């Protein structure tokens, strides 16, 4: 089940990787959530080898599109992925192997695509380290769910962001049985530059607050900046220069911590000085976007349909 919107540039790679699955899907459900490009046409052309059901909907958020796709699906088990993803050849087989263990939800893993200086720095800045179970996540774009269990959970809420976090929280709070499949790996494309990163995280910030998820993101960030402000006030006792020097030190320290935590778990040298400095810049962009999204939320607590 794949929700897509304006993914003309990425859907050929996604469908090509689906064609190479060692265990092909019995059915492919694609919800075109109001694309304004050739996404639906490319799916029709490239997904011909599958039993494909293309649902052309209006402008929907990803969670809403997933809900619509699940409703239309015929099979008992549904594997989710997204646009901007490339699947490992054994991805679906690995997910379904764990599904045979009598569980209701299977979480796969993901790896960031680090194909530029910016995306390598971004991976250090905000992609989580590998967890104790051997993978990253849980990640909705690498997940299998029993259809009946999905419906019991109520599907995804109507947000542009945090809809996955709310859904995962419901899974954790339920009595559903879940398992991990660390070898069920997808490759996820990060925002390609500073502008795309800012836009993405500003929208995420707005919708996370609308979903009452600020305690998991914004509160922690506010504490960090409160510590920075306190340090700068103390630094003023020794001069303005010292107080101002704490700002770049603040970002470098955060980037160093992230790089150290992820050493060995990313396909790059995380501790290279130039990458650590660039990761600090990525963190600055993300923080400014977070504040921008929070200000939008203060003006408009219920987000509009920006996508």
Please provide the size of the chain in residues.
Answer: 307
Kindly give, in sequence order, each residue whose CB lies less than 8 Å from that of residue 116, ignoring residues fewer than 6 positions away. 192
> CA-to-CA distance for 66 and 55, rounded, in angstroms?
11
For residue 197 the two structure tokens come to: 């990163």
> What is the structure's pLDDT at 65?
95
Alpha helices in the chain (DSSP H): 11-19, 39-46, 62-72, 91-99, 117-126, 147-153, 163-173, 194-210, 218-235, 240-261, 273-299
- Domain count for the chain: 2
To the nearest whole number, what is the mean pLDDT of the chain?
Answer: 94
47 and 122 within one domain: yes
Q: Which of 145, 140, 134, 54 is closest to 106 using CA atoms? A: 145
Q: Are residues 128 and 266 in the same domain?
A: no
Q: Structure pTM?
A: 0.91
Is 191's pLDDT higher than 70?
Answer: yes
Q: Does residue 50 fall inside a structural domain?
A: yes
In a shared domain, residues 184 and 249 = no
Kindly state the average pLDDT of the residues 13-39. Answer: 95
Residues 6+ positions from 85 with CB-CB distance below 8 Å: 10, 14, 17, 141, 186, 187, 188, 189
Cα separation, 157 vs 207, whole angstroms: 11
User: What's 60's domain CATH number?
Assistant: 3.90.550.10
Asked whether residue 280 is domain-assigned, the answer is yes
Dihedral angle computed from the Cα positions of residues 230, 234, 235 and 240, in that order, rounded to the nearest 10 degrees: 90
Alpha-carbon distance of 42 to 9, in angstroms, equals 10
138 shares its domain with 259:
no
How many Å separate Cα 89 from the centre of its chain? Answer: 21
What strands, in cross-sheet order, belong to the sheet with 28-33?
Answer: 2-4, 28-33, 52-57
| pLDDT over 90 percentage in the chain | 87
Give pLDDT, residue 48: 86
Residue 307 is assigned to a structural domain of this protein: no
pLDDT value of residue 305? 55
Q: Which of 138, 172, 189 is the last residue of a domain?
A: 189
Distance, C-alpha 77 to centroid of its chain: 22
Q: What is the mean pLDDT of residues 146-170?
A: 92
For 228-282, write each residue's pLDDT tens digit: 999 999 999 989 999 999 999 999 999 999 999 999 899 899 999 999 999 999 9
Choose the final residue of a domain: 189, 206, 239. Answer: 189
pLDDT of residue 302: 77
Token look-up 């103390």 returns 234
Quick one: pLDDT at residue 304? 61
Rounded distance between C-alpha atoms, residue 171 and residue 183, angstroms: 21
The answer on pLDDT for 303 being more than 90 is no
276 domain-assigned: yes
Instruction: Over range 174-189, report the average pLDDT.
Output: 96
The pLDDT-based confidence of 227 (bands split at 50, 70, 90) is: very high
Quick: pLDDT tens for 38-48: 999 999 999 88
Residues 88-143: tens digit of each pLDDT:
999 999 999 999 888 999 999 999 999 999 999 999 999 999 999 999 989 999 99
Domain that holds residue 41: 2-189
Residue-level pLDDT at 136:
95
Q: Is the pLDDT of residue 307 over 50?
A: no
The domain boundary residue, chosen from 164, 189, 214: 189
């Amino acid at each position: 089940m794949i929700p897509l919107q304006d993914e003309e540039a990425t859907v050929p790679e996604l469908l090509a990787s689906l064609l190479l699955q060692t265990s092909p899907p019995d059915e492919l459900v694609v919800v075109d959530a109001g694309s304004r490009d050739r996404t639906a046409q490319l799916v029709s052309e490239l997904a011909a080898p599958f039993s494909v059901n293309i649902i052309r909907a209006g402008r929907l958020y990803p969670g809403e599109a997933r809900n619509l796709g699940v409703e239309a699906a015929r099979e008992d088990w549904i594997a989710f992925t997204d646009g901007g993803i490339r699947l490992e050849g054994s991805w679906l087989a690995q997910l379904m192997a764990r599904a045979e263990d009598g569980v209701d939800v299977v979480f796969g893993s993901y790896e960031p695509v680090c194909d530029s200086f910016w995306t390598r720095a971004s991976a250090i800045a905000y992609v989580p380290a590998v967890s104790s179970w051997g993978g990253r996540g849980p990640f909705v774009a690498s997940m299998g769910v029993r259809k009946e269990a999905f419906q019991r959970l109520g599907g995804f809420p109507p947000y542009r962001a945090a809809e996955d976090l709310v859904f995962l929280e419901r899974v954790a709070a339920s009595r559903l049985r879940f398992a991990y499949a660390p070898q069920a790996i997808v490759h996820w494309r990060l925002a390609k530059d500073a502008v795309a990163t800012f836009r993405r995280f500003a929208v995420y910030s707005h919708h996370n607050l609308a979903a009452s998820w600020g305690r998991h993101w914004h509160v922690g960030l506010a504490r960090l900046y409160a510590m920075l402000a306190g340090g700068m006030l103390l630094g003023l006792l020794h001069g303005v220069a010292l107080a101002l020097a704490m700002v770049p030190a603040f970002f470098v320290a955060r980037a160093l911590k992230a790089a150290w935590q992820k050493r060995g778990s990313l396909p790059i040298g995380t501790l290279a000085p130039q990458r650590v400095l660039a990761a600090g810049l990525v963190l600055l962009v993300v923080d400014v976007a977070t504040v921008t999204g929070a200000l939008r939320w203060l003006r408009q607590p219920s987000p509009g349909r920006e996508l």
